[in-house]
Structure 1
Amino acid sequence: MQLSINRESLLKAINLIAKAADKRHNMVILGNIKLQLSESQLILTASDLEVELTSTLKLPAGACVAAGTTTLPATKLKDICKSLPAQAQINLTTQENERCLLTSGKSRFTLGTLPSEDYPSLGNPENITPLIISRSRLTDLIHKTQFAMAIQDVRYYLTGMLFDVSQQQLTTVATDGHRLALARSVIDVSSDLNMQAILPRKAVIELERLASELGKMLGDKDNPVTLSFGREFLQVSLPFGEVDSAGQVSDDLVVTFTARLIDGKFPDYRRVMPSNTDKLALFNQEKMTEVLRRVAILSNEKSRGVVFNFATDGMVEVRANNAEQDEAVEVIQAKYQGEPMELSFNAAYLQDVLGVIQGDVQMHMSQSNASVLVNQLGDEFHQYVIMPMRI
């Protein structure tokens, strides 16, 4: 295999997929990127057997000197390309004894390779259900819920995000058992389509990263994204070529995202949404964020507990203390409807929710030991549930 390519083109293609490579995996080859070179294109693949990212790069005439395939260490290849001068020309040539020579200007690097035929493929979705949604809405659905995913849990399905299609809406849900985040968007599908799929944590983070990267390229423009759900996999193709004046992205570089879905039953999130709430508090988001940030400094390091004491005059006392007998107290103004009550929250859970809300914050409550519904005033498409604590 022999390739001559511009540094910027190769580095962009590598940067978009390199995070999927896993050098800590039991299979050593998964720390490598697979290169497949033909006359017209270069295909780069990185995978950890849960998420597979592929960059397909169209090549100019003469870039492919000799077609072939190989695998190269992902981190080393990325760091070498990054260290070379801008607009440098990179030459890659495979040699005998599983070596690859990379030259650019007066620089020369020899890298170890592993046989490309040993590189595992994740596969492609079968019996596809395609969902078309705008990139900005997809980013919103993931960004405003992903923080509630469990990091480690024996209930493995909680370490992912639910994509639920019903009543011509796509709903994303994440929960770790202590809090729940939900976002929904109207989509153009048949009214009788009902479908659920659970996307693993790493796949959720990578899909959001790719959609955000595309958003940076497009600026205030938007573009449709097709989510191809199969029985075992989700596949998404995103264009990363040049952007024209109309906001259209060329297919000179296309990244294909493939992820293995979690095989499990996600809990019925509709059952945990609080109902029959008879108390309502309305806060200014910025003021509440500041108060919570200050008071939480003296909260217990393990429980992170903060107490809210709601009075009928609309003054809410927020306080925290810890094992060293330190205490922080601050009063914040709110519009409150209901009887006086006291609630305790994990400050971090509430801060995560406040971090994705832009306007005034509503808290719907019933009892001091019942879950609380939090949402932005006038926004029914994003809802958050937090379980109170016992302190």
Structure 2
Amino acid sequence: MKLKFKKEDLTKGLQTVQKVAQNKSNNISYENGLLIKALKDVIEIQANDYDMGIKVIVPGIIEEPGEVFISNPFLIELTRRLPSDEIEMKKQDADTKLTVLGGKSKFECLTMNPDDFNEVTLIDSGYSNFSTDSITLKNLIDNTSYACSTDDARPIFMGTLMEVNESTLTMVATDTHRLALKKVILEQSIEQPIKAIIPSRLLAEISRQMPTDMPQVVEITAIRNNIAFKFSNVYIKTRLIEGEFPNYRRVIPSEFSCKVMVERNEFTGSVERTSIIAKDSQYDVINFIFEDNQIKLTSQHPDYGTVEDYVACSMEGEQLNISFNGKFILDILKHCKSNEIILKSKANSPMLVQEKGEDSYIYVVTPMRTR
């Protein structure tokens, strides 16, 4: 095998697969590497572990076709630091080393048997498929998956639900204490509905790969217990979490005794100040009192004292005294974009948070019991 690349193209390709290639979640060495495959006039770089497979097509010149399997965590860093804009890779069929050349520098990398690599197979059709754009998908992921649980004792809550019915794409995440939901309308309806629970850590990697400088078409294919994303020169296939996602519609409140509209930046600042003491306590508890067109926020720590803060608001309905986890409230506010936020709740009930004029984006947070 003999290949030539521009350093920028090769580095970008290696960075695309880096996280999967260096996944150390298991002890099998051949699951922790990458495959460079140059056949049929296309150069592919692949990485695959038990949970995610990723394939990227990299521009380059194939002088001699071939493939090589490498498990070397230093390859990406060394390649990036080579003192040349042109990089050459070569390996003789009988050799066990891949030679990487750039300028006057040479790097020899030990290789393994390519037959031991679990290749990322491209699946063009599953039981259902649809398309959206990269910016829309990234926004869906980033504004929901943060609400997933990190408790591996309840794996169903460690994933985000992707639900597609006709022309509506909805993503929902919850850890049972909070919920984030966002939906968009697709340009075309699908015939077969999709209901897939995608692990949040895999969604984070997909979000990282999404191009944001210019929207690109993302083709999404559902395949039994996997789902695949194809965009630009990248193909990603991830496993799904098995099980039944809870009926999230039942936990979205619909009856309220108090409705408040507040300026997002002012409210965020007030919550941050009040959290300074609260976040050092066990549960980050902040008490909120909604009355007389203002919100009173208080928190206390048994060893350090109390904090009290106020923020103006526009209020309808009854006075409300309720407590929430300050971190959860801040997470919601940091993912909002509108200048004005609407809070709806009633005594001892979950609070619904929405951005003014935005019905497709919903947050729910449950109150905390205080003495």
For normalisation by structure 2, the TM-score amounts to 0.93
1:285 to 244, 258, 264: 264
Offset from partner CA, 1:171-194 (integer Å, 9 cap, x none)? 000011110000000113447643
What is the rounded CA distance, in whole Å, between the counterparts of 1:191 and 1:18 in structure 2?
A: 34
2:346 to 366, 383, 391: 366
Offset from partner CA, 1:322-381 (integer Å, 9 cap, x none)? 1314111111111112222211111111111101112211111011x2111101011100
Partner of 2:361: 382
Please say which of residues 91-100 and 196-205 is displaced more in the overlay: 91-100
What is the rounded CA distance, in whole Å, between the counterparts of 1:124 and 1:8 in structure 2?
A: 26
Partner of 2:212: 215
What is the rounded CA distance, in whole Å, between the counterparts of 2:122 and 2:199 in structure 1?
A: 17
2:89 to 88, 91, 100: 91
Offset of residue 279 of structure 1: 1.1
What is the rounded CA distance, in whole Å, between the counterparts of 1:305 and 1:295 in structure 2?
A: 10
What one-letter code is carried by the residue in structure 1 that aligns with 2:284?
R
Offset of residue 288 of structure 1: 0.6
Judge conservation of contact 1:45–1:54 (CA < 8 Å) in 2: yes
How is 1:286-301 mapped onto 2 (pairs within 5 angstroms)? 286-299=265-278, 300-301=280-281
What is the rounded CA distance, in whole Å, between the counterparts of 2:10 and 2:157 in structure 1?
A: 37
Judge conservation of contact 1:72–1:112 (CA < 8 Å) in 2: yes
How is 1:37-56 mapped onto 2 (pairs within 5 angstroms)? 37-38=38-39, 40-56=41-57
1:79 partner SS: helix
Please say which of residues 131-140 and 97-106 is displaced more in the overlay: 97-106
Alpha carbons of structure 1 residues 100 and 224: separation in structure 2 relative to 1, 3 Å: closer
Offset from partner CA, 1:267-296 (integer Å, 9 cap, x none)? 111011001112101110000111111110
Alpha carbons of structure 1 residues 326 and 94: separation in structure 2 relative to 1, 3 Å: farther
Offset from partner CA, 1:91-118 (integer Å, 9 cap, x none)? 3325756322222221121212121111
Alpha carbons of structure 1 residues 115 and 228: separation in structure 2 relative to 1, 3 Å: same
* Residue segments in structure 2 that go unaligned for 5+ positions in a row: none
Alpha carbons of structure 1 residues 269 and 94: separation in structure 2 relative to 1, 3 Å: farther
1:302 counterpart = 2:301: no
Partner of 1:246: none
For normalisation by structure 1, the TM-score amounts to 0.88
What is the rounded CA distance, in whole Å, between the counterparts of 2:188 and 2:332 in structure 1?
A: 30
Offset from partner CA, 1:132-159 (integer Å, 9 cap, x none)? 2122221221111111011223221211
Judge conservation of contact 2:128–2:191 (CA < 8 Å) in 1: no
1:43 partner SS: strand
How is 1:244-255 mapped onto 2 (pairs within 5 angstroms)? 254-255=233-234
2:231 partner SS: strand
Judge conservation of contact 1:39–1:64 (CA < 8 Å) in 2: no
1:17 counterpart = 2:17: yes
Judge conservation of contact 2:9–2:59 (CA < 8 Å) in 1: no
1:339 to 318, 325, 335: 318
Judge conservation of contact 1:91–1:104 (CA < 8 Å) in 2: no
Alpha carbons of structure 1 residues 363 and 74: separation in structure 2 relative to 1, 3 Å: farther
2:151 partner SS: coil
1:361 partner SS: strand
Offset of residue 168 of structure 1: 2.4
Percent of aligned positions that are identical: 23
1:75 partner SS: coil
Partner of 2:184: 185
1:233 counterpart = 2:248: no
What one-letter code is carried by the residue in structure 2 that aligns with 1:20?
V
What is the rounded CA distance, in whole Å, between the counterparts of 1:334 and 1:235 in structure 2?
A: 45
How many residues end up aligned between the 2 structures? 366
Alpha carbons of structure 1 residues 280 and 167: separation in structure 2 relative to 1, 3 Å: farther
Partner of 1:100: 98
Please say which of residues 14-23 and 174-183 is displaced more in the overlay: 14-23
What is the rounded CA distance, in whole Å, between the counterparts of 1:91 and 1:132 in structure 2?
A: 36
Partner of 1:243: none
How is 1:308-327 mapped onto 2 (pairs within 5 angstroms)? 308-311=288-291, 313-327=292-306
What is the rounded CA distance, in whole Å, between the counterparts of 1:167 and 1:268 in structure 2?
A: 19
What is the rounded CA distance, in whole Å, between the counterparts of 2:133 and 2:36 in structure 1?
A: 31
What is the rounded CA distance, in whole Å, between the counterparts of 2:33 and 2:209 in structure 1?
A: 20
Partner of 1:2: 2
Judge conservation of contact 1:94–1:101 (CA < 8 Å) in 2: no
What is the rounded CA distance, in whole Å, between the counterparts of 2:168 and 2:286 in structure 1?
A: 36
